[in-house]
Amino acid sequence: MAETLTCGDLQAGRYEGILTGAGQTEIEALHKGRIIAVAQITPHPTESGAQRVAIDLPADILSDGVQVIGLRSTATGEVLDRITLMAGTALDEDIRGEMALLRDELEMLKRAFRRHCAETGQD
C-alpha cells in the first residue's frame, strides 16, 4: 500500500495531516532543497493504521512571492504533499492581472453562450 498524506489543517504555522499506508518513516519539510523541519508522527486515536502528522513551519520561510514546501517521506523519498504560501506586494499585481484575465475570459464565454442560444433558439 502506498503512503498517503492528507492535509487536515494549517493554522498558525502548524501543518496537521493524516498519514496512511506508511511503515517506519519520517516526514521532512523541504524548502528550496533544504530540510526546514521534521514532523512529529503519532498514532491516530480513532483510525486504525493511520498516523497523525504535525509540522511546525519556521517563520523565516515567510517572504515575498510564492514559497512551496514539500513534505517528503524518508522511507520512499516521495513528496507526499505540498504547502504553498503566497505573500507580499509583488503578488498583489500578479493576482490583479490574473483576475483581469479571468474576467475577460468569462465575458468572452458569456457572449459565446448568448450567441449560441440566439442561433439555436434555446434559452
What is the 8-class DSSP label of residue 60?
G
How much is the pLDDT for 46?
Answer: 87
In tens, the pLDDT along 26-39 reads 999 999 989 999 99
Number of domains in the chain: 2
Same domain, 64 and 94: no
Same domain, 96 and 65: no
In tens, the pLDDT along 111-121 reads 889 989 988 88
Q: How far apart are CA 73 and CA 104, in angstroms?
A: 42
- Say which range, 10-19, 42-51, 84-93, has the weakest mean pLDDT: 84-93
Same domain, 73 and 104: no
In tens, the pLDDT along 44-67 reads 888 888 999 999 999 999 888 888
- Residues 95, 5, 71, 37: is their CA dihedral positive or negative? positive
How much is the pLDDT for 86?
Answer: 82
What's the mean pLDDT in 87-114?
Answer: 81
Asked if the model's pLDDT at residue 95 lies above 70, the reply is yes
Confidence bin at 70 (pLDDT 50/70/90): very high
- Residues 5, 24, 77, 63: is their CA dihedral positive or negative? positive
Q: How far apart are CA 116 and CA 34, in angstroms?
A: 53
- Give the CA distances from residue 100 to residues 59, 87, 95, 97, 107, in Å, rounded to whole numbers and listed in that order: 32, 19, 9, 5, 11
Residue 55's domain is classified under what CATH number? 2.60.40.10
Q: Is this structure's pTM higher than 0.85?
A: no
Range of the domain at 110: 88-123
For the purposes of burial, counting CB atoms within 10 Å of the CB of 41, is it exposed (0-12), middle (13-18) or buried (19 or more)? middle
Same domain, 101 and 82: no
Same domain, 83 and 104: no
Q: How far apart are CA 82 and CA 3, in angstroms?
A: 14
Terminal alpha carbon distance of the chain = 50
